[in-house]
Amino acid sequence: MRERVQIDTDILIIGGGTAGCLAAWEARQVGGPDLRITILEKANIRHSGSLAAGQNALNAYINQGTPEDWVAYVRYDLCGAPVREDILLSVGRELNETVAMMEKEGLPIKKDADGRYLARGKWNIEVNGRFLKPITAKMAEKAGAQVINWVYTVELLKKEGRCVGAVGFGVRDGRFYVIRAKAVLMAAGGAAGIWRPRYSGDAHHRIWYVPFNTGASYAMMKRIGAEMTGFDTRMIPVRLKDTYAPAGTLAIGANAKMVNALGEVFMLEKEEYVRMGGHTAPTPIRVWACYREIAAGRGPIFMDTTKGDPEKVAGLREQYLDMSPSTVLYWAAHDIDPAREPIEIEGDSPFLVGAHAACCGAWTIGTTRMTTVPGLFASGEALGQAPSRFISGSWTCGRIAGRNMVKWIEENGIPLAELDPEEIDALEEKTFAPLARWSKQQFFTNGKPVLGILPKEMEEHMQNVMEDYCGGRVRHFAVSEPYLNIARKRIHRLRRDQLKYLTVPDLYELQQAWDVINRLDCCQLVIEHISYRKETRYLGYVNRTDYPERNDAEYDCFICSVWNPDTDELTFKRYPYEQLVPGDRTKETI
């Protein structure tokens, strides 16, 4: 048995990112000085997660209109698809207050000559965001949370139907951590690296979304029995080619328009695209339009910065230094001047997210942020069916989750659970199994195990399956049941037959092993959810060639699944759409 660290706490937060840090802060405000708050972070909380490289804007802020108008926009931007309007309204009503609070904590927000926040479109404001993560982490530190860095959370603990804690391992010290908690918040990010990236070798994770978000949120919640939702809406971002920096900085920040190789502003000049919203069409439609132009022989696609706002184009390098310095270096290395030539863009690999422009995550009860497993809450990318919350919305969601966790503990008198020693022993063995297999291996002369599979080998196999058979870039994001059947069979074989051969030599590689285990669980969610939804609702994100039309009569609803560990199958259920903001869901209100 390895050295164990046992911790008792009131609130356990898994993931010290955007939502997790603000959840700790809010829990302290409502729970008082005696509340015990613990954060598990697999890296270092001051420089981890999606905010580590910074950001130049907050993409959720109500510059005009009302929270209801913002919800109408979010709904429209996902093609009028089902979204949790109740959750989004709860966020919208506190968005601006949260941003003002973060400004007081040191976040530099740009302002115009009259002292108002500098708007970048209807729902964005510009910031100097290179220190976003340290400022966010400071909120957890001010809350007096017990922050445990360098601990990889492996599994949630469940007793008598309630989530009662978690286990993990120290990525540097190799110790086994057992944490008992009265309430647990999952906020460990979304999932990258499931589909095959464009680059290979040392650059195989040269992608837009942070590669260290590997689906742990979704996989752990799935394995504990939470209802999961939204995995038929993987996000496909259109980004700058080669550096994969956000293209919105060019579109919104510099007023640049998308053009094809013929110089046509196709979203404004072609009637078929104009009918779908033109240059402000929903995000999935803009992805679809780009690839339709390429398929028609009119690629590549560019953002025409030569005709953008000259002053704003001149400031693009400064903008990208706040979040993607590699873009500035790339332009310098290739003698690219956005004032003289348009910037090429393309679709990146699909990603699983819940706080960006997609809906992946756990189904939650009302606006409490508690999942269908009592005691387990979700926020940030882990919260399902509430897209386009971004940074400021995830801050806000973290706050809402924090106060609801305290409320649930106090109102129900929740105690710490007594854990089964045999169950904990079994979890420890499971956690370190890939490491234990290494000492029993024989090796080829190149150092690779004879009867073992390395994490990178399994990851590449998984990515190839998902790319070829589950709507990757090579298929222009199209998919059909025959392809899904092959993906299902091959991912099942990896999960059920091959994981027992996964082996690693050290703690660093043990992280990679659990990354691929979690990604494979996410693959199952994606394959089965896309298969279940027999329609094309998110044109551009998931293009079903066998069901090319939208079918509101059958699928204008929320689709959730629960995993059965005995059969390794997902059982599906549907919830009706509840529209709270009146009006046509396929139109904005302002």
| Domain final position from 294, 320, 347 | 347
| Domain final position from 347, 376, 406 | 347
* Residues 356 and 339 both lie in one domain: no
* Residues 303 and 416 both lie in one domain: no
For residue 201, the model assigns a pLDDT of: 75
Give the per-residue SS3 of 250-277: HHCCCCCEEECCCCCCHHHHCHHHHCCC
CB atoms within 10 A of CB 515: 23
Note whether 157 and 8 are within 8 A (CB): no
The count of C-alpha atoms lying within 13 angstroms of the C-alpha of 40, restricted to the half-sphere facing its C-beta, is: 36
For residue 203, the model assigns a pLDDT of: 66
* Residues 328 and 391 both lie in one domain: no
End-to-end CA distance of the chain: 61
* Residues 477 and 332 both lie in one domain: no
* Residues 144 and 227 both lie in one domain: yes
For 349, the 3-state DSSP assignment is: coil
Phi and psi based region of residue 519 (left: phi greater than 0; alpha: psi -120 to 50; beta: remaining): alpha
For residue 8, the model assigns a pLDDT of: 98
pLDDT lower than 70: segments of the chain: 202-203
Read off the pTM: 0.96
C-alpha 470/C-alpha 299 separation (Å) is 24
* Residues 472 and 501 both lie in one domain: yes
Note whether 190 and 362 are within 8 A (CB): no
Q: Does residue 300 have a cis peptide bond before it, meaning omega lies within 30 degrees of 0?
A: yes
The reply to whether 10 falls in a domain is yes
C-alpha 354/C-alpha 358 separation (Å) is 5
| Domain final position from 347, 374, 391 | 347
The per-residue DSSP string of 270-327 comes to -HHHHTTTGGGS-HHHHHHHHHHHHHTT---EEEEGGGS-HHHHHTHHHHHHTT-HHH
User: What are the two backbone dihedrals, phi and then psi, of residue 14, each rounded to the nearest 5 degrees?
Assistant: -100, 105
The reply to whether 37 falls in a domain is yes
Q: What angle do CA 74, 62, 108 make, to 5 degrees?
A: 120
* Residues 476 and 556 both lie in one domain: yes
Which range marks the domain in which residue 215 is found? 4-54+93-106+131-233+351-421
Smallest CA-to-CA distance from 210 within 396, 15, 397, 39 is with 15
The per-residue DSSP string of 444-511 comes to -TTS-BSS-B-HHHHHHHHHHHHHHHTT-GGGTTEE-HHHHHHHHHHHHHIIIIIGGGB--SSHHHHH
**CATH code of the domain in which 151 resides:** 3.50.50.60
**CATH code of the domain in which 569 resides:** 1.20.58.100
For residue 202, the model assigns a pLDDT of: 66
* Residues 376 and 457 both lie in one domain: no
Q: Give the long-range contacts of residues 265-274, CB within 8 A, separation 24 or more.
A: 265/304, 266/293, 266/298
Number of domains in the chain: 3
* Residues 485 and 538 both lie in one domain: yes
For residue 273, the model assigns a pLDDT of: 96
